[in-house]
Amino acid sequence: MASHYENPALTADAVWLRGDRILLVRRGRPPFRGMWALPGGFVELHETVEETVVRELREETGLTARPYRIVGVYSGPDRDPRKPTATVAYLMKGRGGRPRGADDAGAAEWVLLSDARPLAFDHERIVRDALRLRRRLG
């Protein structure tokens, strides 16, 4: 007899820092419609978390990068009002370029870190952790 489990959804977020700027998307859909957020989204079946972060970044910004460090795993049950989620956040490396908002992102921009507030979900915490990690890495 099969059991039914209610489990959190798995997501991946991209933290791409370039000097004093960070790549953000303006959310085009609820929740947090119109707010800045990290590019990212839900892991699809038969996809790794690393594949997800690359795919979501490309879909939402038109840019390509690769994950090179895990910032952290974020799993509070109330981080997403839609349902419980667990997120793996990655520092990204790539050539950069001019982003364009697409998919469920209304816009995508390199935003000054000093202007990158407020952010949707718990993304301010993720960005703080990423900045600490970047300082440690030199």
**pLDDT tens-digit readout, 98-123:** 999 887 788 999 999 999 999 999 99
Measured at the CA of 76, the angle between CA 13 and CA 124, to 5 degrees, comes to 50
**CATH architecture of structural domain 9-132:** Alpha-Beta Complex (3.90)
* The model's pTM: 0.94
In the DSSP assignment, the letter for residue 115 is G
Q: What pLDDT is recorded for position 2?
A: 64
Q: 128 phi and psi, to 5 degrees?
A: -60, -45
Name the residue ranges covered by the structural domains of the chain: 9-132
For the stretch 28-79, pLDDT in tens is 999 999 999 999 999 999 999 999 999 999 999 999 999 999 999 999 889 9
